[in-house]
Structures are given as C-alpha cells and as structure tokens.
Chain A
Amino acid sequence: MHISEGVLPLTTLSAGYALSAAGTAIGLKHIREDRIVRTAMMSSTFFVASFIHVPIGPANVHLVLNGLVGLLTGRSCFVAIGIALVMQALLLQFGGITTLGVNTLNMALPALFCFLIFSPGISRGKIPLFPAGLLCGALSSLLSALLLSLSLTTAGEAFLPAAKLVLLANLPLMVVDGLITGFVLLFIGKVKPEMLKP
C-alpha cells in the first residue's frame, strides 16, 4: 500500500505532509510516558507486517494491521506509523521520502478513525472482541485502500486503472487483516485485558 516516488503531483505530496505533520504533532503531545513502549511495539509490528505478503490469486498484497495499531496506540498512531514508514523508506526503499506524508496519512487516518469508533465499545466490554477486531481490521484496510486510490487519482487519468486495481486487490486483504486483528484482540483480552483501555 505504499506509493512510490515520482507518481503523485506536488500538491498531493504537500497536503499529505501537512496533514501528517499535524497528526504526528497531536500524537506526540498526547502520548503518555507509560504508553511509549507499547507505541514502539506497535510501530515495530507495523514495520514488520508490511513484509508479509499474502498471495491471493493474481494479486500479491501485504499485511497492514493499521486497525490494530490504531486500537492499541490511539491518538499516537500517527507517530507509530510515521516512524515505521520512515524506516521502511530509508532502509528498504518501500514508498519514498517525498511520498512519506501521503503514505502516513493513508495508513494512520483510518487507524485513528477506527480507534475512535471501536475503542469505547471494546474497553467497556460492549462489543465481543473477535467481531470488533474483525470489523476494525477490515474497515481500516478498506479505508486505507480508498485513500490510496484517491491519492492515485490525483496523479491524472493515467493512474485511474491503477487506482481501481488497488481497491480490488486490497479487498481480500480486508478479510486477512480483520481475522488477524480479531485473533490478536482475543489473545490480548485473555492475557492482558487492561491493554484494551484507551
């Protein structure tokens, strides 16, 4: 789900950087001392998850798990995802430095949205953990794919087919991401349920 260098116009890149910088600043302000280790863990998880590809038919999509990152880091998800993407761009040339803002926004905004939607219900025990994780993982993947497609459409009509393909290719990922998020929430609910409180 990374957009490479040289694809997007300057206005999209600038808007991505501006919005991501705002999100990261808010995240840094809100991050609590006792949540820094957890945020670092989720940043590492996001960093590693992108390497694991899921071959589904002709498509080859990779795990994102931004819904899980959002649930466990809350408003600091921009920090966790932003740092992981910086490392991926610098060390592994995934995405790029110019597209860092857009890529961060595409991943972190759905994560934050899912945190705001699902976290209150999960922490109060109003929603069963597995369905909540399934929906959270699937919705965040869907929203990221939509944002990615939207970003590609700003690059011109030549990228419209690619934008449609991105959306279709990532539909199976919604299921995989949702299942993994559901199982992880079940596991956390059993061994350390206090982690699910915002």
Chain B
Amino acid sequence: MKRAVLVILLQVMILAPRQAQAHRIDLFCRVNGNVLTGEGYFSSGDPVKNGKISVTDAINGEPVAETVTGDDGTFSAILDSEAPVVVVLSAGQGHRAIWRQPSGDRQETGASFPHESNKLRSLKTAAGLLFIAALFGLLYYWKRRHAT
C-alpha cells in the first residue's frame, strides 16, 4: 500500500508539468515605418501584463521611448529617430527579455509571434528529468569507482 502511494505521488510529480506554467518570458517586436509594436508573454502563453517596455537607440544607448504592456501583453510606441532600437521588457522579479532590431531595415522587421507548444514544453521537461537521472547515475558510478 505504501509503495503504491509512493508510485502515485511520483507519477503526479512527473505529470504535473503538463498543467504547469513556465515563467520564461519572450518578447517579439515589429517595426513598421516609425511605429514599434510587440508582444510579451510567458512561455506558457500567458501575456505579460503591465510589463515595463524600454526602447533605446541601439547605437548610442539613448532612451527613445517607454511604455507598458496591456492586459493582452501587447504594446506600441512611436519611434522618432531612424536608428535601430533595442527593446527591453522587464516583467519584475528579475525576469527580462531583450529584442534587438536588425540594422538597416526600418520597413518591417521582427519575428512572428510563435508560442511554444505544450508538447514541446513537455518534451523539454522529460528531457530535463532524464538528464538529471543520467547525471546522478554518473555521480553514482564515480562514487563507486572512487570507493574501491
């Protein structure tokens, strides 16, 4: 009975990431003419609400614009200069994402807004758990050899 409870607990721990939310943040931006638009979201797909957006000149580091993300994680800003920009999204607790505009293309730059699929996240989680098991397996092997 005790073993069965332990096995169930272990399964719950392993399956938990399927319903979990990751907390890495991603930032995607587009520049069209002098309008910067973008979106910040956690890798779970949840938008970063009220995140601070700082836009600086990529060449001299001067501030260009500041704004915050809305409830849907999107934002927009007007760019006065022609220089490429660096966009920093601060979501608090040290979470930060940076987007750098490729130089020389002011018409339209930036990526589409791909959200990491749950399947990919689950695969990464499973890979992480396997790596942890493998690393501790190596440690066990090393300890055994060292002991003899």
Contacts and interface: CB of A to CB of B under 8 A. Distances in A.
A, B: real partners: yes
Interface of A: 1-7, 28, 31, 33, 36-37, 39-40, 43-45, 47-48, 50-53, 58, 60, 62, 79, 83-84, 87-88, 91-94, 148, 151-152, 162, 165-166, 169, 187, 191-192
B23 interface: yes
Given A6-B98, A48-B20, A162-B90, 9 more contacts: A5-B96, A31-B143, A36-B143, A37-B136, A44-B13, A51-B16, A91-B128, A92-B128, A93-B24
Task: Classify chain B: how many residues form its interface, as a range.
Answer: 35 or more
A48 to B, nearest CB: 6
Given A36-B140, A87-B131, A6 B96 contact: yes
Contacts of A47: 125, 128-129, 132
B78 interface: no
Contact of A2 (B2, B16, B43, B94): B94
B5 interface: yes
Interface-centre pick from B46, B90, B128 (highest chain A CB count, 10 A): B128
B93 A52 contact: no
Nearest to A159: B94
Contacts of B143: 31, 33, 36
A43 B92 contact: no
A45 B12 CA distance: 11
Nearest to A184: B9
The majority secondary structure among interface residues of chain B is: helix
The majority secondary structure among interface residues of chain A is: helix
A40 B147 contact: no
A5 B88 CA distance: 12
A159 to B, nearest CB: 8
A162 B124 contact: no
A4 B96 CA distance: 6
B6 interface: yes
25 contacts: A2-B23, A4-B97, A7-B94, A28-B139, A36-B139, A40-B132, A43-B136, A44-B13, A44-B129, A48-B16, A48-B129, A50-B23, A51-B16, A51-B125, A52-B21, A62-B23, A83-B135, A94-B22, A148-B93, A148-B94, A152-B94, A162-B90, A166-B92, A166-B94, A192-B6
